[in-house]
Amino acid sequence: MNFDIYCSVIDNYGDAGVSLRLSRELKRLGAKVRLFCDDLNVLRTIAVVDDEDATLRFLPFCAEESILQQQRPDVVVAAFACHLPALTAKLINAQGCLVLYLDYLSAENWVESFHGLPAPAEFARGYYFYPGFTKRTGGLLFEPRLRQLAQSAAQAQQQPLPAVRQLTLFSYANPAVAELLTILEGSVRPSAITVFGGKPLDNVNAILGMTLQPSDSCTLGKLTFKAQGMVSQDDYDALLCQSELNLVRGEDSIVRALCCGRPCLWQIYPQTQDAHIAKLQALLDCFKRELPSEKQAGLAELNAMMLSYNGRAKWPQFNFDDFEPIWRKLALQVQNYIFSLPNLAESMLNFCRMNMA
Ligand code: TRH
């Protein structure tokens, strides 16, 4: 099956990140993919060299007509409400391709009823396609490689715990990071925190009154900060699997962090009217609904920490060191649940097969 995926980078890395992971997964499952992106620099920052080949091509968003006509797509994916270029839309209409509107990720209940509905406004054969956290949505993007990575990292996990706790920090501007650093400072074990360049590093520099640059490091009391430029998605996944606590942001990194089966906190992408807080709570409610009740220890504390990390509650009063082992077990329960969901690329292929005839 031939796929054309269109991605417009509005902000940050998430749009390109999800489009790239989807392209890669479709390719692994035998599809031929062209990924049209209006910021190829962002895409190539997080891609690996092996990504681009005869079955996966990166192309500019507004490609020339001759390129578009080289291969008629069976399916066009418009990622995250991006508006297709006029020439592309004209050709799609002429060719009668199937069009999927891949939407943003949310655990809210309404997603199930919108997933797969026809969206014929612009194209005769258009459908909404929703990722999500239940079996009645398109599911999530994860691949066998990530499962293996997470499993081998779990096996390699040292017992007793390593002397130094490893963390990753990928955030937007977030004052709650200061509170978390104070808590880590009060822990028995020291922490080494990999802080990614851009907004996460700017945030930490503002909190600490420092001017760390990527590849700098510094130790303050029990906390060591290692500033790190952006790495490829593969290297980021490996770091998430090796770390004891991942502070993530945006849609793609929360899914990866949950798949890793390690404790994580999510700074959700801020939206107006607190729409993001409703989405955050919907995810936690989903865990409450879906995890076996006897395996939910720590979920109430996690809920409070997540709200606090997003500036909507006070940090819960408990001993962090005592809570960590409970959190680790909970993260494994969540990982089990996530891996029971549909693989989004597989469900997309199935959906296309059913709707192409
Ligand atoms: O960059 P983000 O904040 O993207 C956001 C969100 O997706 C948000 O929902 C969206 O609406 C907004 O953009 C416009 O966070 P996210 O989604 O986690 O994407 C980051 C991507 O970058 C992800 O694919 C992981 C990848 N990454 C690397 O490849 N290397 C790195 O070093 C790091 C830190 C991340």
What 3 state SS string does 165-201 have?
Answer: EEEEECCCCCCHHHHHHHHHHCCCCCEEEEEECCHHH
| Nearest-CA residue for atom 15 of ligand 1 | 250
Class at the top of the CATH hierarchy for domain 144-338: alpha beta
Token pair listed for 302: 């996690």
Q: Using alpha carbons, list the distances in angstroms from residue 46 to 17, 67, 97, 223, 235.
A: 7, 25, 29, 28, 9
Q: Does the structure show a pLDDT above 70 at 357?
A: no
| Nearest-CA residue for atom 24 of ligand 1 | 17
| Nearest-CA residue for atom 26 of ligand 1 | 233
- The whole-angstrom separation of Cα 333 and Cα 295 is 7
Contact 47, 23 (CB under 8 A): no
Token pair listed for 63: 């490609």
**Identity at 46, one-letter amino acid code:** I
Interval between CA 144 and ligand 1 midpoint (Å): 21
- In CATH, the architecture of 2-140+342-356 is 3-Layer(aba) Sandwich (3.40)
- The per-residue pLDDT for 184 is 97
Name residues whose C-beta falls within 8 Å of residue 207's C-beta, 6 or more positions apart in sequence.
Answer: 175, 177, 178, 181
Interval between CA 69 and ligand 1 midpoint (Å): 32
CATH topology agreement for domains 2-140+342-356 and 144-338: yes
- The per-residue pLDDT for 11 is 84
DSSP conformation letters of 95-106 = HT-EEEEE----
Contact 139, 131 (CB under 8 A): yes
Interval between CA 270 and ligand 1 midpoint (Å): 13
pTM above 0.75, yes or no: yes
For 193-243, write each residue's pLDDT tens digit: 999 999 999 999 999 999 999 999 999 999 999 999 999 999 999 999 999
Interval between CA 16 and ligand 1 midpoint (Å): 8
Instruction: Find the Cα–Cα–Cα–Cα dihedral 103, 104, 106, 110, rounded to 10°.
Output: -30
Q: Cis peptide before 214, with omega less than 30 degrees from 0?
A: no
Average pLDDT over residues 267-271: 96
Mutate to test the pocket of ligand 1, among 12, 226, 260 (most ligand atoms within 8 A of CB): 12
Domain boundaries, the chain: 2-140+342-356, 144-338
For 302-346, write each residue's pLDDT tens digit: 999 999 999 999 999 999 999 999 999 999 999 999 999 999 999
Residues that are catalytic? 15, 251
Average pLDDT over residues 236-254: 97
- The per-residue pLDDT for 137 is 98
Confidence of residue 153 (pLDDT cuts 50, 70, 90): confident
Average pLDDT over residues 134-160: 88
More confident residue, 66 or 105: 105
Mutate to test the pocket of ligand 1, among 169, 239, 252, 268 (most ligand atoms within 8 A of CB): 252
Contact 348, 129 (CB under 8 A): yes
- The per-residue pLDDT for 158 is 62
Interval between CA 131 and ligand 1 midpoint (Å): 16
Average pLDDT over residues 152-164: 80
Binding pocket residue ranges, ligand 1, CB within 6 Å: 10-15, 17, 46, 104, 170, 196, 230-233, 236, 249-253, 269
DSSP label at residue 118: B
| Nearest-CA residue for atom 10 of ligand 1 | 14
Contact 329, 297 (CB under 8 A): yes
